[in-house]
Amino acid sequence: QSALTQPASVSGSPGQSITISCTGTSSDVGIYNYVSWYQLHPGKAPKLMIYDVSNRPSGVSIRFSGSKSGNTASLTISGLQAEDEADYYCNSYTTSSTPVFGTGTKVTVL
């Protein structure tokens, strides 16, 4: 199972909106609404930000939203803040009954 494709980096100024794409295939992102997104800060436990394409867990800011079209899922961060600077990974369930992660995106707040 090949990793889902994400841009290596995305940047934005405080207050702006950014979108991270996550491209898979008809065997993962395209067939299931089981895409999740994770935020990684160095030295901290990874954090679930979005699940089932567009659902936010309790406690996650409403500035984070998710969507999907065809084989590509997206994570949008609105009103970008300094604390959003981190690595972000998408994940999808696959037809092999296993999960696959994306290649990861480094978000920089300018």
- By the 10 Å C-beta count (0-12 exposed, 13-18 middle, 19+ buried), 82 is classed as exposed
CB nearer to other proteins: give 18 or 100: 100
The answer to the question of residue 46 lying near other proteins (CB under 8 A) is yes
CB nearer to other proteins: give 45 or 110: 45
Which residue is it, tokens 């089932």? 52
Stretch 73-92 residues interacting with other proteins (CB under 8 A): 89, 91
The answer to the question of residue 47 lying near other proteins (CB under 8 A) is yes
Contact 3, 71 (CB under 8 A): no
Q: Kindly state the tokens that stand for 61.
A: 């800011």
DSSP state at residue 28: T
Which residues of this protein are in contact with other proteins, per CB under 8 A?
1, 3, 32, 34, 36, 38, 40, 43-48, 51-52, 57, 89, 91, 93, 97-104
